Structure formats: structure tokens, C-alpha cells
A and B are shown apart, each in its own frame.
Chain A
Amino acid sequence: MRILLISLIAAVCGTAIGAVSALWMGGLLSGGLRIGDSIKVDDWSSDWSIGSEAANPYVRARIARVGLLALRKEEAVYFNRAVDDEGRALTEACTYRVSAGALPAEWWSITLYDRDSRLPMNTDGALSFDATDAADLGDAGDWSFTISPAKGTGPKRQWVSSKAADVFDLTLRLYLPTDALLDDPAAALRPPRIERLSCEGGV
């Protein structure tokens, strides 16, 4: 009788720990473990198995949670970054300058998302910066834009609003990436830099 009781308690505890660890390792719990960022260029991370049947169950679970309906790498690749050039978390309290040059894809965009992987709830109409903006500003090979909660004095299309974002991250989408990028991302991609310019209250 006692062995049955012990087995029952062990089974209940095992099931609970197994289930919670799956949610944690699959990225469904806040602050959970991140498995599957197999590609890292500076602080931009990605995984080429996204969207494909080759994705391991941890990558598949995390992408279902934070990037449902992501395309496979031949069509688009996704890089995420949540820190500035000094490794500090990106936050609404600060102003940043994001800059780079030509990127190895037919078209690209950089979009700001809050900690819930949502567009921040503001009406600024400044949610992303893309290849069209860079080209229209005059030099697709040398571009920059500002991230801040309020628009400064520069052109609107050179500004991405972080208003109501709190702590945020950026997603760099590269559509129809070049073969060189897929073959050797570290060599082919000169990823955007993120400089922190100032912070509210001098943080």
C-alpha cells in the first residue's frame, strides 16, 4: 500500500515538473530559457530552422509563441535583439540611434515590439524602419534612424516610436536573403548598431 502511495506522489510530482519544464524550455513562461538561437551576429540572434520541419521541438514551441506563421529561411530570416551596443536592455526610457548599411536581402525591415511580442500601443504611426525608408532618405548604403518615446526634430520616417513599449526588442526581417547570408551569416551580415544616446533622468 505504501509503495503505491509513494509511486502516486512521485507520478504527480514528475508530471508537474515535466510539464512546467516543457513550458519553461519552450519559452512560454516569462523569462524562460531560450533554446534555438543557433545564429548570433553581434547581439542579433536567429535560427535557420524557423518555419521548417527541421526545427527541434523547443524552437518550434518558442516560435509558435512569439512568431507564429514565420516563413522558412529561403523566403525570410528573422533576427532579434533586445540590448544596445553595450549590452544594456532596450527601454522606453532611453533614446537610441540605429545605423547600418546595405543588408543582404531583397527587402528588409526593423520593427519594435514590446515584451509581449506586440506592437506597442501608441498612435504615433512610427512602428518600423525599412529598406524603402532608407532608399527614400537618399543612401540605402548608409542609413540611420532614432528610437525614442517622443519624436525629435528629425524627419518622421527616420523615427521609430518606443512610446508605451516599456522594455522592448527589435526584429530585423530580411526577405529573400542572399545565398551568402544563408551560407555564412557572420561574414555576409554587417548588422545594425544600436547606440544609446541618452536616457530620461540620465539613467
Chain B
Amino acid sequence: MRWLIGLIVFVLTAIIAHLVVLNSIPAKIMSTAMERMADRGIALNGWTAAPRITPETQTVVRPSPDLSYAICRFDTSDGPVLLSAPTAQTYGSLSIFDDRTNNVFVASLQDGSDFEGVIAYPPGNPPIEEGRGYAANGLNTVEIDGKGLALIRRLAPDQDTHDLAAALIEASRCEKLGR
């Protein structure tokens, strides 16, 4: 009887540990990546243009050397965050990832796109509610609970196009919205 109880305890703890560890992996990896970005000086609520991708400058797994990247760490805990970027001639996108690595939003930044910006807002506080001091007219919205990462990718297979893409960061926004 006691061996049967031991077997049951073994199976139950194995299943629970398996599920707990498995489901914690993405958030743990994302959290570590965000901490490393913070250590490298990537600001909260502001775009940071990454240097051109080379073996020496790579900081995340499988970066594409054909793209320029800009990163914004943001946190909706204290209210919504506005993200935007200008369009350009070649392929580009603005994407948002939650703290479990889900790609919860993506918009084209290529000429012809009607993307004006996106507001990331905390659950239960949609930005279209009246009386909050800002409007979502013409903007996309996405619900994010706490920390998130936004990424601008632009086609930039050489140094000149990389520099052009990096110059567009000044016209891009990643900032907390006032109430």
C-alpha cells in the first residue's frame, strides 16, 4: 500500500513540476532578456536603435543581419503607452510582445500602410474610455498587462540603409500617455 502511495505521489509531483517548469520558461527567458536590455542601457518607454547586426553585436538568438532593429521596453502598470513609427519605402514592421513572448500586435511600416500608432493599455483601462485626457481616434489599441517589448524591424542589408533606418527613430514614439 505504501509503495502505491509513493507511486501516486511520484506521478503527481512529476506532472505538476513538468507543467510548472514548462509554462514558466517563456516568461523567464523574456524577463532575463528585458533585464539584459536594461543593463545595456535600453531605456524604459523610449526607442533605442540597435547597432547593425554582426557576430560581435548580436545580443539575442537568431538576429537577422539583413534588418535594422529598434527596441522599446515599456510597462503599462502605470497607464497606457503610445507607440508609433514613420513608414518607409522598404519592408518594415512595428511589433509588440507581451511578457510571455506572444506577438500580440504587428503593423506594417511600409509606404502605403495607414498605421498611425498603437496604444498599449493595462487590462480594464481601455484608452477609448471618455474623460481620460487622450483619445484613440485613428490609433490601434492592444491590451498588455505590465511589461512588454516593442520592436521595429526595417529592411537594411547594408550600412547605408541601416543608417537611414536608424535616423527614423527620432520620428518614432514610445511614451507614456498622460491622464
The answer to whether A122 and B55 touch (CB under 8 A), given A18-B17, A127-B65, is yes
Among A25, A64, A111, the one with the most B-chain Cβ atoms within 10 Å of its Cβ is A64
Tell whether B14 is near chain A: CB-to-CB under 8 Å: yes
The 0/1 profile, CB within 8 Å of A marked 1, for residues 17-29 of chain B is: 1111111011001
**For the complex, what is the distance from the CA of A21 to the CA of B2, rounded to whole Å?**
26
Q: Does B124 contact A (CB under 8 A)?
A: no
B58 touches A119 (CB 8 A): yes
**Could you say which residues of chain B place their CB within 8 Å of the CB of A119?**
53-55, 58, 63, 65
Stretch at the interface among A40-48, A54-62, A146-154: A54-62
Query: Is B33 at the interface (CB under 8 A from chain A)?
Result: yes
- Closest CB in chain B relative to A148 CB, distance in Å: 17
Q: Which residues of A contact B53 (CB under 8 A)?
A: 119
Known: A6-B3, A6-B6, A68-B30. Contact between A120 and B149, CB under 8 A?
no
Please count how many residues in chain B sit with their CB below 8 Å of the partner chain's CB atoms: 52
The CA of A109 and the CA of B106, in the complex, are separated in Å by: 20
Q: A7-B5, A117-B61 are in contact. Are A18 and B29 (CB under 8 A)?
A: no
Q: Are B21 and A171 in contact (CB under 8 A)?
A: no
Cα of A63 to Cα of B64 in the assembled complex, Å: 15
Q: Give the distance in Å from the alpha carbon of A109 to the alpha carbon of B64 in the complex.
A: 9
**Assembly CA distance A190 to B44 (angstroms):** 43
A51 at the interface (CB under 8 A from B): yes
Given A14-B11, A18-B16, CB of A69 within 8 Å of CB of B55: no
Are A10 and B6 closer than 8 Å at their CB atoms? yes
Which residues of A, 9-51, contact B by the 8 Å Cβ criterion?
Answer: 9-11, 13-19, 21-23, 25-26, 28, 51
Instruction: Please state if B65 and A60 are interface contacts (CB–CB under 8 Å).
Output: no
Q: Chain B residues near A28 (CB, 8 Å)?
A: 25
Answer whether residue A106 sits at the interface, using C-beta atoms and an 8 A cutoff.
Answer: yes
Q: Which of B21, B55, B61, B151 contacts A23 (CB 8 A)?
A: B21
Of A16, A61, A130, which one neighbours B22 at CB under 8 angstroms?
Answer: A61
For chain A, residues 61 to 98, give those with C-beta under 8 angstroms from any C-beta of chain B.
Answer: 61, 63-72, 74-75
Show the binding face of B for A, using Cβ within 8 Å. Answer: 2-3, 5-7, 9-23, 25-26, 29-30, 33, 53-56, 58, 60-66, 91, 93, 95, 97, 100-104, 106, 108, 149, 151, 155, 157
